[in-house]
Amino acid sequence: MGMDRNTVVGFILLALLFIGYFYYTQQGQLAAEKQRQHQADSLSRLKPPIDTSANSASIPDTLITKSISSTSDIMQDSTVREEEMTVENKVLRITFSNKGGQPKIVQLKNFQAFDKKPLILQDGKFNNISYAIKIGENQTAQTGDLLFTPSPVQTAGDGKQVVTYTLQSKNGGKIEHQYVIQADDYMIDFNVNLVGASNLLSENKLGLIWQAKAQKLEKDMDWETQQSHISYVEGGDYDFEHLAVGKNDDLKFEQPISWVALKQQFFAASIVAKNKFTGGEIRWETPGDTSLEIIAKSTANLRLDVPEGSTAAIPLQL
């Protein structure tokens, strides 16, 4: 009877041994599988996400220009994309773009924003300089949508730098945007030189669109907004006006104006016509969403009379 008892106990112990072996083996397999999954998840996080949305294959906005008809007189290379180059003097660092042949990003080197970050006066997300030109029979285009050809930067002995962008037409016409940057100056000469002006412009008039954005630069956004204005000189050469940008509004210029600016608390972006704009209007808006940290966005439509003749020069400043 004792032999039977020992046999039963032995079978029970052997069964418990097998149960324990299978249990711990199964737990080890589960732990190993979890470790493999953890490693796979870690690796997947290191890989760039794949956007399967309908817009994932779209070209970034900075590479898009409006398509130009094959019948256009303007010469555009379909293989060329937006290209940038940076030029700086003692006080400015300017990134130019061949799209529109214009400044894209403007940094003030001797100042910082309230959070110690670089002080960017214009960041390329809204600012724009553009005007309509004739590109064929019953066809027009905005220069801000066209790709200009850059020339090598010219540097003089006094530190002056000249940046030139050119747009050619098939009939011999040409538009040249020339920027003259002095060695130690915030003002930039901006000359628009036209060859074949009568073929490029309607009635020898140029309608310039100037867009500027005032981004938050100071800690107190409410106070900065109160201290920000649309400034301009209309009529006289010395009297200028201020208009608050704290609300959406617009203004029509009834007389020639020398310059217009979007002025923040301490800094301003402006455009100047050495021979005066003949008129125009400006509108501005303050986004309701303060998280965007935008004080105001302004769009000016400014008219210029272009001298008659096959060539014309329009002297501006930024």
pLDDT tens per residue across span 210-264 = 999 999 999 999 999 899 999 999 886 656 787 888 788 999 998 999 999 999 9
Mean pLDDT, the chain, rounded, equals 83
Amino acid at 29: Q
Q: Between residues 307 and 184, which one has the greater pLDDT?
A: 184
Reading the block at residue 106, the tokens are: 């403007």
For residue 271, is pLDDT > 80?
yes
pLDDT tens per residue, range 279-310: 999 999 988 888 989 999 999 999 999 988 78
Predicted local confidence at residue 38, as pLDDT: 46
Average the pLDDT over each of 3-17, 35-49, 106-120 and give the range with the smallest value: 35-49
pLDDT tens per residue, range 71-90: 578 888 878 899 999 999 99
For residue 106, is pLDDT > 80?
yes
**Which is it for strands 118-122 and 102-112: parallel, antiparallel or unpaired?**
antiparallel
Alpha-carbon distance 161 to 180, whole Å? Answer: 6
What is the widest separation between alpha-carbon atoms in the chain?
129
Alpha-carbon distance 154 to 133, whole Å? Answer: 27
Alpha-carbon distance 196 to 152, whole Å? Answer: 24
Hunting for tokens 């790709």 — which residue is that? Answer: 147
- Torsion angle, CA of 140/142/147/149, rounded to 10 degrees? 90
Average pLDDT over residues 124-135: 94
pLDDT tens per residue, range 141-169: 999 999 999 999 999 989 999 999 999 98
Residues 6+ apart with CB under 8 A from 174: 166, 167, 168, 193, 194, 195, 196
Q: Between residues 175 and 247, which one has the greater pLDDT?
A: 175
For residue 34, is pLDDT > 90?
no
